[in-house]
Structure 1
């Protein structure tokens, strides 16, 4: 029996991922850029031998050091979504809050079973705290947040 949310068969995970990516692209196409944010991508060591984790760091240009930091975990219940889907949100957070945002592109379940996605987020947090001075972040002022899975 197919289960539907009104158009997408929610038992078809690849189709759901494709639909979510398409919605994100359409949303981003209608948004303007957020000025004053410098981004950089980093492949950080995974947790206890896990694969490297991609982390995108968003640094506001006109904020004095030391700044607070935020490790951002994208939404999707650990089975959907990616870092790109929350790119605009991370830029806005960095600008409006004056914080450095580290967005985690964690591996998704079910391809990566629990606790793999959580390990990826933890590895990103540890790396970000260790690299805090490189980004002008006060390591005592790092928060964790996100949408859905990360919230």
Structure 2
């Protein structure tokens, strides 16, 4: 007696798209945390290195290490910025996917309410017919 929600297939597709977008957002957040942690570890590692230059060769090695560290930190900062941008893009995609499913979910809810109301009307009609038939039968028996 109940009709299926006519847009059920589209709703399922939208929910799958939303789930995929949520997974991508979660992965982007994880990559962003990893990049942030790598930056924190690099800074911590550089803070603990105390090498005193005792001769020219050591001073050259320290200068090369600092230049390399500066380059590594610049790369880590660029990676962090890229990961943050990926998170924002993934968040926007998730929000868009969620917005596309919400409208269909509301339509499905209204459809379910309408179906429930129709089922109740049909049931009430049957009950009214049964009550009317029983009343006529009692009246007929009472008159006979």
| Structure-2-length-normalised TM-score | 0.23
| Structure (1 or 2) with the greater strand fraction | 1
Which structure has the larger Rg over C-alpha atoms?
2
| Structure (1 or 2) with the greater helix fraction | 2
Higher relative contact order (CA 8 A, sep 6+): 2
